[in-house]
Amino acid sequence: MNRLDAGEYDDSGTGYDIHLAVAEGGNCGYFDFTAQHNVTMWRWLIAATFVSEMKRDNGTTTVTEPDGSASQVAIYSNGKAGIVVYPFSERLAMANNIEGAMIERYGSEEGAEKAIVFYQAMLDVEAGELTSFGRETLAELHDHFISDLQQKGWPEMPLTH
């Protein structure tokens, strides 16, 4: 699970297979999942689904990475402006903005439980897609990022969203 969260499988379909295997193992009792493990699993799945939907809906663009390599990266667009989206940065943004708010308000344990419920409302597991609530939540988050960039400009150190 740590390797999933660290982004090791972000560029391949293998990530979904590993996620499914870990989830099934947890459901069968092979793992003793804490609330934080569950939060991590839900966060990974929502971020991966969001990036997949953005690729489908808005396409990709080629980005030159800091090491000089080129990557095909999904695009979030609100119809007026856009921003590239990476799975890792999606997870980071969700952890900071969604989980962080829950933990700040409710404390670690209850905040993690509330984050799980929040994340469950964002994903239609049967359909394998975000719910309208999930799309709206992530659109609002990205629109805020875009607004910050437009108002304050790019930070000295580039950020990936």
Q: Answer whether residue 115 is part of any domain.
A: yes
**CA atoms of 126 and 31, how far apart (whole Å):** 23
Query: Domain of 22?
Result: 2-152
Q: Tell whether pTM > 0.85.
A: yes
3-state secondary structure of 153: coil
What per-residue confidence (pLDDT) applies to 12? 72
Report angle CA 126, 112, 101 to the nearest 5 degrees. 105
Q: Answer whether residue 159 is part of any domain.
A: no
**CA atoms of 100 and 26, how far apart (whole Å):** 25
How many domains does the chain fold into?
Answer: 1
Largest Cα span, the chain: 49
Q: Answer whether residue 16 is part of any domain.
A: yes
Q: Answer whether residue 39 is part of any domain.
A: yes
Residue positions counted in the chain: 161
What per-residue confidence (pLDDT) applies to 159? 55
Q: Answer whether residue 72 is part of any domain.
A: yes
Cβ neighbours, 10 Å, residue 143: 15
Q: What is the residue-level pLDDT of the chain in tens, covering all 161 positions?
A: 888 888 888 877 888 889 989 989 988 988 888 889 999 999 999 999 999 999 999 999 999 988 999 999 999 999 999 999 999 999 999 999 999 999 999 999 999 999 999 999 999 999 999 999 999 999 999 999 999 988 887 767 555 55
Residue 93's nearest CA partner among 145, 37, 41 is: 145
What per-residue confidence (pLDDT) applies to 150? 86
Report angle CA 18, 92, 98 to the nearest 5 degrees. 105
pLDDT tens profile 31-51: 888 889 999 999 999 999 999
Q: Answer whether residue 160 is part of any domain.
A: no
Q: Answer whether residue 161 is part of any domain.
A: no
What per-residue confidence (pLDDT) applies to 114? 97
